[in-house]
Chains A and B, each alone.
Chain A
Amino acid sequence: MRLRQTIQEISGMKYMTDSLNVLSPIGKNYLFDLPFLTSKDEIEAVLNETEAVVDLLNENTRENILNLLYNKIMQLRDISGTIRRLESGIVLNDIEFFEIKHFAILSEYIRETILNLSLSCIQIPDLTYVIQILDPENKRISHFYIYDQYSVLLTDLRERLKFSLQNETVAENLRFETELEEDRIRKELSQKLSEHFLEIKQALTEIARLDVLLAKGIQACAMNLSRPAIGLNETAYSGLFHPEIKYLLSKQQKNFQPVDISIPQSPTVITGANMSGKSVTLQSVALAQMMAQFGFYVPAESAIIAPVEEIVVSVGEAVNEFSGLSSFAAEMLRLNDMIENAHNHVSQLVLIDEPARTTNPKEGNAIVCGIVDFMKQYQVRSLITTHYSMDMNCRKLRVKGFTPRGSNEKMTVQNINNYIDYSLEETNETEVPQEAIKIAEIVGVDSELIEYAKNYLKR
């Protein structure tokens, strides 16, 4: 799986990639092509690199060098097409020589800067020889043409051409000879360069990697992300948050309340009133797990994460009306992914938001209990939110929910989050909070309807 596939799937992932300041087109390609890592060592290795950049950024004394570096990275073009042509032995044209020269000069500059910054995780090959091939005047400016210096014959032909411009026939002949000589030189240059195509290719990839790495570091500092410890069994967060929702709340001068949660290798059922943040917790867990396994810092104060091979997420109304399935049917079928993984012993993190909520409560409840039983049986690391009363033995967490406050301020949909404690606590109760009508009142549902509903509740 590549990063680009997760953007639609995981809430908040697009926000994270959009706010990554990747400067070059090759960096962007590299970013979206990042692989989903499943081994502890691989993830740790990438996190080490990110940490090196974060340390560098925190030093504060390197700002000028870094700005120059950003400036150079910004000038990079994607020359992978040209490199492929070079590899296949085609004779390049002047525009392609220009591209390689332009790239090689930038690459050398970046390589020297990296050495200065002691960023040893980036290994850009030395392209001095490539520059020499394309810069016979030794000016180190990324202009290019077939220079006179390439051959004595060429110098001579051009000199003669210059003085024959008035005589069209002579000029035409000389022009033809010049072009022949130029083409011979192009062939020679292409041959010389093709010996170095691997280095050029590696330089391109390394700079793309550097671009992404710097962007990751900057984002980690700006958003207060933290390096997760990579565990083998344990997954737990303290101060977990969802950056996109945090940002949206901050625009309304509201705070995001981070949560602490641990996720053992067995099912955990989360209950809580409507609007108490259950879905957001699920989405935050999905996002953090995903980010960690793509080698990013995670949105939490601290985190320990056990890598998994699959992350199965079922949150919200991701129903495709055109598939002809009802929301219930689509949801049930998605469970098959989890079941198949369990049967195949694929390690997974399963996050299911209110399963079977769209059917009758009696059977719905039974289905949820069934899912939990299955997950207990197969030791599936999972979080399941529900409004059903679960009379069964499993780990349960409850959102603390409404906290009465002394003030006389009327609770409204605007200020409701001041009255909710979003943190989670372990519970053994089988009953779930009965606050649906209260919430409906707060969000402003007509009182006549509320009264009718209350009458039924009293019966």
Chain B
Amino acid sequence: MPFVNEILAYRSVSIAGLEKNTGKTESLNYVLNRLKTINTRIALTSIGVDGEKSDQITRSPKPEITVYEGMIFVTSEKHYLERKIISEILDVSQERTALGRLITARARMQGKVILSGPSGTAEIRKLIENMEQYGVNTVIVDGALSRLSFASPAVTDAMILATGASLSANIPQLVSKTNFIKQLIELPLVEDELAKQLQELKQGIWGIDEFGRIHDLEIPSVFLLDKADKDIFRFGNRIFIPGAITDKLISFLQTQDREVELIVSDFSRIFCSQHQFSSFLKRGNTLKCVLQSKLIAITVNPVSPNGYTLNRDRLLDEMQKTLKVPVYDIKSEICG
């Protein structure tokens, strides 16, 4: 049984799609189907609908997820009342989301439900913690499209990435784009001692000297970095930026030609292009992170919504070769 056992090794796993129609829902349904026979308590939820704007705009309905007996799920009041499942309410939240309060329930029999959980990372984190009281081993979070922030290691411990032809209809390009995300997710960690201290810093720009001491560079925002009147390398070449990492920022740092070691909070803060990223590394700079996520597996959907189908075997083969993680075609796994 591929990668399912690995899921159970983590307290929380998010499933993130790199593009629409990459088969995130199939991926989740596949995972749940595999977990149904395992005697371990699973809980699942999703990022609230207000996190998934594209669905609200195109008005395409959120897909139903098949939940199996004994599994716990958290969804909004609205979607709970529309469920096609026999389930027992365990709790009703005091807080409200756009779709009403959050209902925690246990499936009494297999059935279908639309998941719509909290809409913020802090709320998801709290929810994951709360699940402990029900003896839950692993919480699976159905992530939002192109909102990788919910897959941040600050929220969930591990992730499954769904990719496919809708991201690119060209195999080498699809592999390369997916590999870029994998590289970001697996950025090397900084040393433990430093990581602990850096985790506390939520904003600003910081220099780290040769003794590992952290200094405020007194620049209020990354947007003002190139306007800084003091030398930003006065404490050395190690720079920590907890905020967003943009193309402009990377480009500024690499022009300084200083073999910078740029430290980020985690991959979800990096918004630069693949091109800028590799160019930065090629010039002898390095990127490290404070929190690392574990990429459990990649699932691919070789069919794009406009009907184009990629060669399944070649795709899986090339993905596996380049990415060196388990890669699955969820659709054929379900059929097979």
In the complex, B77 has a CB within 8 A of chain A: yes
Closest Cβ of chain B to A173, distance in Å, is: 13
Tell which of A95, A146, A161, A178 touches B103, judged by Cβ atoms closer than 8 Å.
A95
Report whether A98 and B84 are in contact in the complex, using a CB–CB cutoff of 8 Å. no
| Complex: A382 Cα to B150 Cα, angstroms | 63
Decide yes or no: A145 and B87 within 8 Å by CB, A77-B92, A158-B109 being known contacts: yes
Q: Is A162 an interface residue (CB 8 A)?
A: yes
| Contact (A145, B81) CB under 8 Å given A95-B89, A95-B103 | no
Contacts of A93 in B (CB 8 A): 81
Q: Cα distance A158–B81 when bound, in Å?
A: 19
Name which residue of chain B comes closest to A25, CB basis.
Answer: B94
Q: In the complex, A165→B85 CA distance in Å? A: 12
Cβ contact of A77, chosen from B94, B108, B110, cutoff 8 A: B94
In Å, the complex CA distance between A313 and B195 comes to 59
Q: Would B109 and A161 count as touching, CB distance under 8 A?
A: yes
Cβ distance A67 to chain B, nearest Cβ, rounded Å: 20
Question: Quick check: is A99 within 8 A (CB to CB) of the other chain?
Answer: yes
Residues of B contacting A94 in the complex (Cβ-Cβ under 8 angstroms)? 80-81, 89
Residue A175 is within 8 A (CB to CB) of chain B in the complex = yes
CB distance from A144 to the nearest CB of B (A): 5
How many angstroms from the CA of A98 to the CA of B86 in the assembled complex?
Answer: 15
- CB of A143 closer than 8 Å to a CB of B: yes
User: Whole-angstrom distance from the CB of A189 to the nearest CB of chain B?
Assistant: 14
Shortest CB-to-CB span from B105 to chain A, Å, is 8
Give the distance in Å from the alpha carbon of A144 to the alpha carbon of B97 in the complex: 22
Total A-B residue pairs with C-beta atoms closer than 8 Å?
37
Q: In the bound complex, do residue A145 and residue B88 qualify as a contact, i.e. CB atoms below 8 Å apart?
A: yes
Q: Given contacts A95-B80, A175-B84, are A143 and B109 in contact (CB under 8 A)?
A: no
Residue of B nearest to A179 (CB): B84
Query: With A145-B108, A158-B109, A161-B109 in contact, do A95 and B92 touch (Cβ < 8 Å)?
Result: yes
Q: Which of B88, B101, B103 has most A Cβ within 10 Å?
A: B88
A99 nearest CB neighbor, chain B only: B92
Nearest CB of B to A444, in Å: 36
Contacts of B108 in A (CB 8 A): 145
Q: Tally chain A residues at the interface, Cβ within 8 Å.
A: 17
CB-defined contacts of B105 to chain A, threshold 8 Å: 145
How many angstroms from the CA of A99 to the CA of B77 in the assembled complex?
Answer: 13
Q: Which residues of A contact B101 (CB under 8 A)?
A: 95
Query: Which residues of chain A from 352 to 372 have any CB-CB distance to chain B below 8 Å in the complex?
Result: none
Task: List residues 101-121 of chain B with CB under 8 A from any CB of chain A.
Answer: 101, 103, 105-106, 108-110
State whether the Cβ of B90 lies closer than 8 Å to any Cβ in chain A: yes
**Of the candidates B77, B86, B89, which one forms a contact with A158 in the assembled complex, judged by CB atoms under 8 Å apart?**
B86
Interface mask (A37-81 → B, CB under 8 Å = 1, otherwise 0)? 000000000000000000000000000000000000000010000
Which one of A144, A162, A165 lies within 8 Å of B89 (CB-CB)?
A144
Contact of A145 among B77, B86, B94 (CB under 8 A): B86
* Chain B nearest CB, measured from A194 CB (Å): 20
Q: Which residue of chain A lies nearest to B94 when distances are taken between CB atoms in the complex?
A: A77
A102: nearest residue on chain B (CB-CB)? B92
Q: Give Cα distance in the complex from A95 to B89, angstroms.
A: 7
Residues of B within 8 A of A144 (CB): 88-89
- Chain B residues within an 8 Å CB radius of A146: 86
Instruction: Given A77-B94, A93-B81, A175-B84, verify A98-B110 contact (CB < 8 Å).
Output: no
Total interface residues in chain B, CB < 8 Å: 18
Q: Given the complex of chains A and B, what is the CA–CA distance between A408 and B210 in angstroms?
A: 57
Which chain B positions have C-beta within 8 A of A165?
Answer: 110
Contact residues of B: prevailing secondary structure: strand
Do B81 and A95 touch (CB < 8 A)?
Answer: yes
Query: In the complex, which residue of chain A has the Cβ closest to the Cβ of B89?
Result: A98
A161–B77 Cα distance when bound, in Å, is: 25
**Which parts of A325-344 form the interface with B (CB within 8 Å)?**
none
CB of A18 to closest CB in B, whole Å: 20
Mark contacts of A134-168 with chain B using CB atoms, 8 A cut-off: 1 yes-contact digit, 0 otherwise: 00000000011110000000000010011001000
Chain B nearest CB from A93 CB (Å) reads 6
Best-surrounded residue of B84, B86, B90 (most CB of chain A within 10 A): B86
Which residues in B have their C-beta under 8 angstroms from that of A178? 86
Q: Mark A155-193, 1 if CB is under 8 A from B, else 0.
A: 000100110010000000001001000000000000000
In the complex, residue of chain B having the shortest beta-carbon distance to the beta carbon of A77: B94
Complex Cα gap A146–B89 (Å): 10
Q: How far is the CA of A150 from the CA of B180 in the complex (A)?
A: 56
Nearest CB of A to B89, in Å:
4
How far does the alpha carbon of A99 sit from the alpha carbon of B81 in the complex, in Å? 14
Alpha-carbon distance between A99 and B90 when the two chains are bound, in angstroms: 11
Query: CB-nearest residue of chain A relative to B87?
Result: A145
State the Cβ distance, A323 to closest chain B Cβ, in Å.
Answer: 38
Residues of B44-100 contacting chain A, CB below 8 A: 77, 80-81, 84, 86-90, 92, 94
CB closest chain-A residue, reference B108? A145
A165 to B92, alpha carbons, bound, how many Å? 29
Question: Are A143 and B77 in contact (CB-based, < 8 A)?
Answer: no
Q: List A88-107 residues whose CB lies under 8 Å from chain B.
A: 93-95, 98-99, 102
Interface residues of B in 221-256 (CB under 8 A from A): none
Which one of A99, A145, A162, A165 has the highest number of Cβ atoms from chain B below 10 Å of its Cβ? A145
Question: How far, in whole Å, are A302 and B81 apart by their CA atoms in the complex?
Answer: 57
B109 contacts A98, C-beta separation under 8 Å: no
With A and B bound together, what is the CA distance between A144 and B88 in angstroms?
5
Note all chain B residues with C-beta closer than 8 A to A102. 92
CB-CB nearest in chain A for B80: A95
Residues of B within 8 A of A161 (CB): 109
Instruction: Check A162–B109 contact: CB distance below 8 A.
Output: yes
* Nearest CB in chain A: distance from B91 CB, A: 8
What's the Cα separation between A409 and B74 when bound, in Å? Answer: 68
Contact of A143 among B84, B86, B89 (CB under 8 A): B89
CB B85 to nearest CB in A, in angstroms, measures: 10
B79 to chain A, nearest CB (A): 12
Smallest CB-CB separation from A165: which chain B residue? Answer: B110
Smallest CB separation, A82 vs chain B (Å): 11
How far is A7 from B77 in the complex, measured between Cα atoms in Å?
A: 35
Chain A residues, CB < 8 A from B110: 165
Known contacts A77-B92, A162-B109, A165-B110; is A95 also within 8 Å of B77 by CB? yes
A residues 432-448 with Cβ under 8 Å of B? Answer: none
Q: Which residue of A lies closest to B103 (CB)?
A: A95
CA distance A249 to B273 in the complex (A): 58
Q: Is the CB of A98 within 8 A of B87?
A: no
User: How far does the alpha carbon of A163 sit from the alpha carbon of B141 in the complex, in Å?
Assistant: 29
Q: Given A94-B80, A95-B77, A98-B89, 16 more contacts at CB 8 Å?
A: A94-B81, A95-B80, A95-B81, A95-B89, A95-B92, A98-B92, A143-B88, A143-B90, A143-B106, A144-B88, A144-B89, A145-B87, A145-B88, A145-B89, A145-B108, A158-B86
Complex A-B: 16 CB contacts under 8 Å? A77-B92, A93-B81, A94-B81, A94-B89, A95-B81, A102-B92, A143-B89, A143-B90, A143-B106, A145-B86, A145-B88, A145-B105, A161-B109, A165-B110, A175-B84, A178-B86
Measured CB to CB, the residues of A under 8 A from B are 77, 93-95, 98-99, 102, 143-146, 158, 161-162, 165, 175, 178
Which 10 pairs from chain A and chain B are nearest by CB?
A145-B88, A98-B89, A144-B89, A143-B88, A143-B90, A165-B110, A162-B109, A93-B81, A94-B89, A98-B92
